[in-house]
């Protein structure tokens, strides 16, 4: 990742320091040829798992650990991330190289894993002006981005050794019931309960499709590392925290919930995270047609998956906001998350109303 302002590394945030001496001492016993003292910094992006850069002479490493404070019981599993990346990389090369995992919490206070840093560029809210992209360039970039998700969905996970990674049958129901339950556990007094949205989703869980693939779970533009020489080429997909096996339309619904268009309501555009509204980008409707054409999977009647995607994002934000609200983190980036939950919940209501 370049330090060009797209996904910069910064000094470690107050309250998120680790025992650097203990970590350095331990890593030198398990990673070959690790010498000298590292330059330590923290990746500015990300609002859940914590990601640090330890830049040793000749070895540029990334360390991932769960957040501090209360966490969902099944969330933030480092061994899941580590395992999926290990097994996927031979068949889906756009995965960073993993080096080490430890569940010894005496080292830094939690489980963690280490991977090698991938050189490249991460794009945040806007396409870099130095790319001087035309709308045709942007469209090509967009198509390559969605093709990478389609490539992941076509991986033979059984052949990759991931047959026991999860329970793909019943995935849709577990997701709806699981995210609804998580929301109930982290509601704060200043957010809507959105009982109507939760009930609508539970009442409309589709029949088992039989489509089972590897799902990234958080696929968006700032979770890919790009080749600076050819920004349409994805060197790595990162942040495998929510990876699972299940219906690929759920993954597509998650990804499209991040995909804002210039014609969207103003409140929704305020939570835009990526340049999905740049001239030349495909619209959500065009992406659904593109995905169907490339995979043969019917994407008509997609409203259920769209509502699920927005709702799941709302729950994720509320889980983080709950920690901020209760003083478990002092990271001021999370202060606006409560209102953002309301925005995403209202988008769910708009989509539901459009079906009435």
pLDDT for 286-334, tens place per residue?
Answer: 999 999 999 999 999 999 999 999 999 999 999 999 999 999 888 898 9
> Does residue 49 sit within a domain?
yes
Asked whether residue 80 falls in the same domain as residue 220, the answer is: no
Asked whether residue 136 falls in the same domain as residue 112, the answer is: no
> Does residue 124 sit within a domain?
no
Question: What's the domain range around 311?
Answer: 129-354
Whole-number pLDDT of residue 150: 98
> Does residue 123 sit within a domain?
no
Give the residue from 69, 89, 116 where a domain finishes: 116
> Does residue 40 sit within a domain?
yes
CA distance to 18, 261, 264, 337, 342, per residue, from 270 (Å): 34, 11, 10, 12, 12
Give the residue from 116, 144, 159 where a domain finishes: 116
- Residue in the structure block whose two tokens are 């650097």: 20
Task: Categorise residue 15: left if φ over 0, alpha if ψ from -120 to 50, beta otherwise.
Answer: left
pTM of this prediction? 0.91
Q: What is the DSSP letter of 89?
A: T
- Provide the domain count of the chain: 2
CB < 8 Å & 24+ apart, contacts of 17-23:
18/52, 18/63, 18/65, 18/108, 18/109, 19/107, 19/108, 19/109, 22/107, 22/108, 23/54, 23/63, 23/107, 23/108
Asked whether residue 208 falls in the same domain as residue 345, the answer is: yes
Q: Is 256 helix (H, G, I), strand (E, B) or coil?
A: helix
CA contacts within 13 A on the Cβ side of 64:
27
Asked whether residue 133 falls in the same domain as residue 272, the answer is: yes
Asked whether residue 111 falls in the same domain as residue 241, the answer is: no
Q: What is the mean pLDDT of the chain?
A: 93
> Does residue 215 sit within a domain?
yes
Residue 111's CATH number: 3.30.200.20
Asked whether residue 147 falls in the same domain as residue 30, the answer is: no
Q: What is the pLDDT of residues 116-149, one digit of tens each?
A: 999 999 999 999 999 999 999 999 999 999 999 9
Q: What is the pLDDT of residues 54-75, one digit of tens each?
A: 999 999 999 999 988 645 445 5
């Amino acid at each position: 990742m370049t330090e060009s302002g797209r996904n910069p590394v910064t000094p470690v945030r107050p309250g998120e320091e680790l025992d650097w001496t203990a970590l350095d001492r331990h890593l030198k016993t398990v990673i070959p040829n690790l010498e000298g003292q590292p330059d330590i910094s923290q990746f500015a992006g990300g609002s859940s798992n914590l990601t640090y850069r330890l830049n040793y002479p000749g070895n540029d490493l990334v360390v991932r650990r769960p957040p501090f404070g209360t966490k969902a019981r099944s969330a933030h599993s480092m061994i899941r991330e580590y395992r999926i990346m290990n097994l996927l990389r031979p068949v889906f090369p756009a995965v960073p190289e993993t080096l080490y995992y430890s569940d010894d919490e005496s080292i830094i206070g939690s489980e963690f894993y280490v991977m090698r840093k991938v050189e490249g560029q991460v794009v945040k809210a806007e396409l870099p002006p130095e790319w001087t992209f035309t709308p045709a360039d942007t469209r090509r970039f967009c198509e390559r981005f969605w093709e990478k998700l389609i490539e992941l969905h076509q991986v033979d996970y059984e052949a990759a050794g991931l047959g026991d990674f999860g329970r793909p049958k019943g995935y849709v129901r577990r997701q709806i019931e699981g995210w609804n339950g998580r929301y109930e556990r982290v509601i704060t007094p200043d957010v809507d309960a959105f009982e109507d949205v939760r009930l609508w989703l539970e009442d409309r869980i589709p029949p088992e499709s039989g489509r089972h693939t590897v799902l990234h779970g958080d696929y968006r533009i700032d979770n890919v590392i790009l080749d600076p020489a050819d920004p349409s080429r994805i060197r790595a997909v990162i942040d495998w925290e929510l990876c699972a096996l299940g219906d690929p339309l759920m993954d597509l619904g998650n990804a499209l919930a991040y995909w804002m268009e210039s014609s969207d309501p103003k409140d929704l555009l305020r939570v835009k995270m990526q340049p999905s509204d740049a001239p030349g980008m495909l619209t959500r409707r065009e992406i659904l047609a593109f995905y169907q054409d490339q995979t043969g999977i019917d994407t008509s009647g997609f409203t259920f998956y769209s509502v699920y995607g927005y709702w799941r994002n709302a729950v994720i934000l509320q889980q983080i906001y709950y920690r901020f609200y209760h003083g478990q983190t002092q990271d001021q980036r999370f202060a606006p998350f409560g209102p953002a939950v309301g925005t995403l919940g209202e988008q769910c209501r708009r989509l539901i109303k459009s079906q009435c």
